[in-house]
Every structure is written in C-alpha cells, then in structure tokens.
Amino acid sequence: MQSKKTASRKSETTGRLILEDGSVFQGVSFGFPSSVAGEVVFNTGMTGYPETLTDPSYTGQILVLSFPLIGNYGVPTEKTIANLSQLFESEGVRISGLVVSDYSNQHSHWNSGQSLSHWLNSHRIPALHNIDTRALTKKLREKGTMLGKIEFSKKPIDFYDPNLDNLMEKVSVKKPVNHGTGKIKIALMDCGCKHNIIHSLVNRKVQVTRVPWDYDLNELNFDGLVVSNGPGDPKMCRQSILQIRHTIERDIPVFGICLGHQLMALAVGANTYKLKYGHRSQNQPVIEAGTNKCLVTSQNHGFAVDNNTLPRDWHPWFINLNDGTNEGMRHSSGRFRSVQFHPEAAPGPVDADYLFDEFLEVICS
C-alpha cells in the first residue's frame, strides 16, 4: 500500500531557477506554478517577509531569501485604515518570484491569518523551496546580480531585464491621494512608496498629498517634498528628476528616501551607478559622516550615488560601514537632504526614525 508520504512526494510540483550564466537550481513549488523572469537578488534579513514581499521596490525581481527557514509564522491578517494597509507595504505582493531553502508548511503566530503558500497563490506569485540558497547567494555575491527565470515544465519563458523599463509607471498612484490632516503640507512623490513612509508622516500630524511619479508639482501648494523609494534604474525617470530639480530651485525643502535619494542626486548633477549585488536586508550598518554615530538600517536597493560626482555645497551624510558606499547626502543649507536607507523601517530597526522629525523641523524653521 502506498504511504501518504510517498503519495505527497509524487504530487509535488517541481520547477527550476535558471540564471543567465546557465546555472540551474531544481526546486519544489509552494506558490503559483507559472513561469516568470526577472532580476535575481538576495535579502539577508531573518524576519519580515510580509513587509519585504509587498515592497514595491522589488517589482521585476525574483527574490532569494538567504535565511533558511521561511513561512513559520505565516502571513498576518490584513488591517486597513483609511484605505491604507497597516501591516503590508503596498496593496499586493510585488516580487515576481520567491526562492527559499526550507519552507515551513506549518505556521503559528497570534496574528497569522493564512500560510505564505496560500498568500502567494492568491496573488499568482511563483515560489520554489528545497534550493541551496547559500550556494545561490554566494554565486550572486561573487558574479553579481543576474537575470533569471523560474520555469515549470512545458512553460518556457525568455529572460527579462526590468532595469530597461520605467518600473515607476507600474507602481505609482495614478492620481493625487490625500492622507492625514495638519498645518504642514507635504507633497509625497510616489515612485513606488512604501506605506510606512505615509504612516511615519501622518503620525506626525501633517497633511500628505501623494502624487504620481511624473506629476506637475506646480499645480500643488506644499511646504515640503518627500521623494519615495521605488524600483528600477533612477535614470529611467526623467520627469521625476526635473520636478525635483525645479522644487529645489524654488527653495522648498526636499527629503529623498532610497530611489528618492538617487533621483535627488541626479537632479542636482551627481551620478548614479549599479552596485554589484546591492544592499537588501534589515541589518545594514551606516555611520553619519564626521561623527561616531552609527545606525542599523533597513535597505533595499541595487543602485548607488557616486560620492565623487557630488556638486559644490553637497556633502555625503551617511556612509555604509560594509563597503563604504554613499548612504545619504545633504546640502550645506540643510534644506535638502536624502538617505539611501529606509528611516521608516518596515521591516527592520527604527534607529533612523528621527530623520522625519529633523525634516519637519527644517520646514518649520
């Protein structure tokens, strides 16, 4: 008589991750069995996969989680206030595909509403487990981020480079949306904005107008501009760069976060470049330039600002302690500043949360 364990193995759907260098990793499906292609990147965070998978910055990417056990606390039950998620960083799962080592079929957490597998299937996101993610991560570190594809039998697909597209068009709001109330009016350029950036501002009693990535800011009355995170190559976003440059010329305070930091750099005449494999985790240490003050930060980016191209009166603000890359810049006036990491966290430490307070102080000064 066939055992239940043997029958379960026979019913498993298998798939494979194929990298552009020809490497093949065989795995077992625990998501939606549909072939996808994108850029393969890795994240070294130990927890926080619900927030990570809903981060719009991962649009177009196949995500490898280096922490070996994934899914053991399931996915939380959604909570929405004023049409804004309280637990996820956007309205849906943003990654193109997921790759892990050991997927936990059993999940347990006081706030768990469903399994990770069920959640991924409901959003039609493919996922593979039983893959040596240590070997895969080492390959991506040594050779650099590569294009890849998750394929299932009889469903071949071509490689796809998301950095050749303007991904912000896919993740930005289509028209202005208002959040919160207060005397201070913040324009939030949505380049793929994480929800916790909005929460971080609204919780400080300010009025936030979230606008599309290419919105004409001349049509808006605001006291300060926040430029959000988002996916892809910042050089694909000419309209955003021009709007930021014009806002700086009007002497309106600006604060850039992640992709917003890169866009600000391009707006003032600096250059950006692609990192070998990027920074993606909740344990990235940075130091404030000229001080001994260190922060542990949440990060998710594949491009960086070239320190050597910063124009006069612009200075490095934070530096990555792992590789020395730029993690922030600010103008000598103090009115324009940006950081490569995520002060809003979600997931990750809240060491840098005070930067929102500093920006509001600049507006009020």
What is the structure's pLDDT at 177?
96
Residue 141 domain boundaries: 12-164
Q: Which of 129, 195, 331, 342 is catalytic?
A: 342
Shared-domain flag, residues 192 and 315:
yes
Burial (CB count within 10 angstroms: exposed 0-12, middle 13-18, buried 19+), residue 339: buried
Span 162-188, mean pLDDT? 96
At residue 146, the 3 state secondary structure works out as strand
Count helices and strands in the chain by DSSP H and E runs: 9, 24
Shared-domain flag, residues 156 and 242:
no
Count of CB atoms situated within 10 Å of the CB of 175: 8
Span 273-296, mean pLDDT? 97
pLDDT digits (tens, 9 = 90+) for 34-69: 999 999 999 999 999 999 999 999 999 999 999 999
Name the percent of the chain lying above pLDDT 70: 97
Q: Which of 51, 191, 258, 261 is catalytic?
A: 258
The pLDDT confidence band at residue 81, using thresholds 50, 70 and 90, is confident
> What is the CATH number for 337?
3.40.50.880
Cβ–Cβ < 8 Å for 304, 326: yes
Please check the confidence at residue 9 and state whether its pLDDT lies above 60. Answer: no
What is the structure's pLDDT at 155?
76
Does 129 qualify as catalytic in the annotation?
no
Does 258 qualify as catalytic in the annotation?
yes
Shared-domain flag, residues 46 and 188:
no
The answer to whether residue 3 sits within a structural domain is: no
Closest CA to 295 of 278, 318, 262, 326: 318
Name the percent of the chain lying above pLDDT 90: 93
CA–CA distance, 255 with 339 (Å, rounded to integer):
8
The answer to whether residue 353 sits within a structural domain is: yes
Span 194-216, mean pLDDT? 97
Number of domains in the chain: 2
Domain's final residue, options 104, 139, 164: 164
Shared-domain flag, residues 298 and 249:
yes
pTM over 0.75: yes
Closest CA to 103 of 76, 133, 137: 133
The pLDDT confidence band at residue 11, using thresholds 50, 70 and 90, is low
Shared-domain flag, residues 145 and 235:
no
Phi, psi of 228, deg, nearest 5: -85, 175
Does 301 qualify as catalytic in the annotation?
no
Please check the confidence at residue 362 and state whether its pLDDT lies above 50. Answer: yes
